[in-house]
Amino acid sequence: MRILRTPEERFAGLPGFPYEPRYAEVADGLRMAYVEAGPADGEPVVLLHGEPSWSFLYRHVMPELAAAGLRAIAVDLVGFGRSDKPADQAEHTYARHVEWTRALLLDVLGLSRVTVVGQDWGGLIGLRIAAEHPESVARIVAANTGLPTGDIPMPEVWHQFRNAVLKAPVLDIARLVQAGCRTELPEEVRAAYDAPFPDESYKAGPRVMPSLVPITPDDPAAPANRAAWQVLTTLERPFLVAFSDGDPITGGMAPILLKSISGTSGLRHPVIKGAGHFLQEDAGAELGRQIAAFVTST
């Protein structure tokens, strides 16, 4: 595997993100990064980002969790943020991303009683980990995400996004994040989203991830996702659905999750107002408060 590693100086002066990075090897020579906030003995809340962002996305969420006495752990997926970046698109598979993230959380960090929070691809990965290792999971939060099996068609806007990412001569990461927000991102925030990618050679992860989403029933990842659904529908773990009110990509998943997953029963599921796909940017503090209330009350 040909691995690229973003120079640390690219991350100097990140606005509102003072956390010291931590690193762990999750496969031969492959390193993942994460940051933490809150007490080390607090209940762990794992924050998993999506395409094409990184843990910086959770900078408004983490202080709310820490203030509630929780241990917030925001992970950079392989290919994103400070984590290593396999340079060849073929090295990225859905199964590998699940395994790399599982190895970090369960093998390296040895977490238990985890609250898994997933948005976008963070949910596609986090929901699989929760279903396949329920003994390590206390709660689940799905925020603008889902677990596609290829049996239900994806919305047209998603296909447009997938094709644009694959074919763009230059992939403008900050522009993609901005397109998923309701609020206007300052220049220094846009620069922070561009920071992990010094040039196009570093962008294999962001380019290929949309193509790894199962869109046909015979997709290689479809059987594992169907198996995960079977577990999640009856899993006795509190399951919070915290979607925004303005996400054209995953918004249709909220009622499906609420109807299908027994762990959602009896909970008050918030709708985050005035937020787009990247609700952590548009309403991160509110999302953080909702997650903290959920964790501390269940």
Active site residues: 120, 247, 277
CB 7 within 8 Å of CB 198:
yes
Residue in the block written with tokens 């238990």: 112
CB 249 within 8 Å of CB 205:
no
Task: Say which amino acid occupies 28.
Answer: D
As beta bridge partners, residue 23 has: 33
Residue in the block written with tokens 């969790």: 65
Tally of CB atoms within 10 A around 162: 17
Residue in the block written with tokens 């047209």: 156
Residue in the block written with tokens 């999302």: 287
Rounded alpha-carbon distances, angstroms, from residue 287 to 4, 282, 295: 33, 10, 12
Cα separation, 56 vs 193, in Å, equals 8
Cα separation, 94 vs 241, in Å, equals 23
Look up residue 120 and give its two tokens.
């976008």
Tally of CB atoms within 10 A around 49: 26
Look up residue 59 and give its two tokens.
């900078």
Which is nearest to 117 in space by CA: 103, 107, 127?
127
- The secondary structure of residue 75, as a DSSP letter, is E
CA 45 and chain centroid, separation:
13
Cα separation, 217 vs 276, in Å, equals 29
